[in-house]
Amino acid sequence: MDTILNAPFMVELINTCTNMYRLGWNERNGGNISMRIDEVDLKPYLDFQPLRRIDLRFDAKPLAGIIFAVTGTGKYFKNVEYDPALNLGIIRIRPDGTNADVLWGFSDGGRPTSELPSHLRSHIARLSKDSEHRVVMHCHSTNTLAMTYVHPLDDKQFTRTLWQMSTECIVVFPEGIGDLPWMLCGNDEIGRATARKMEDYRLCIWAQHGIFGAGRTLDETFGLIETVEKSAEIYIKTMKGPIINTITDSELRILAEAFKVDYRKDFLE
Half-sphere exposure of 183 (CA within 13 A, CB side): 19
Claim to verify: residue 105 and residue 141 sit in the same structural domain: no
Q: Where are the beta strands (DSSP E) in the chain?
A: 32-37, 52-55, 67-71, 88-93, 99-105, 135-139, 178-180, 203-206, 210-215
Q: How far is CA 263 from CA 168, 175, 256, in A?
A: 13, 5, 7
Q: Does the annotation count 115 as an active-site position?
A: yes
Report pLDDT for 1. Answer: 44
Q: How far is CA 186 from CA 64, 102, 144, 194, 260, in A?
A: 22, 20, 20, 12, 38
pTM (predicted TM-score): 0.95
Task: Using the 3D structure, point to which of 87, 113, 139 is the last residue of a domain.
Answer: 113
For the chain (269 residues), the mean pLDDT of every run of 10, in chain order, is 86 97 96 97 92 92 97 97 97 96 96 94 97 98 98 98 97 98 92 96 97 98 98 96 94 97 95
Q: What domain range includes position 235? A: 115-269
Report pLDDT for 7. Answer: 95
Tally of structural domains, the chain: 2
Claim to verify: residue 159 and residue 259 sit in the same structural domain: yes
From the list 27, 39, 81, 115, the catalytic residue is 115
Task: Using the 3D structure, point to which of 91, 113, 135 is the last residue of a domain.
Answer: 113
Report pLDDT for 2. Answer: 62
DSSP 221-264: HHHHHHHHHHHHHHHHHHTTS-------HHHHHHHHHHTT----
Report pLDDT for 241. Answer: 87
> Strand, helix or coil at 33?
strand
Q: In residues, how long is the chain? A: 269
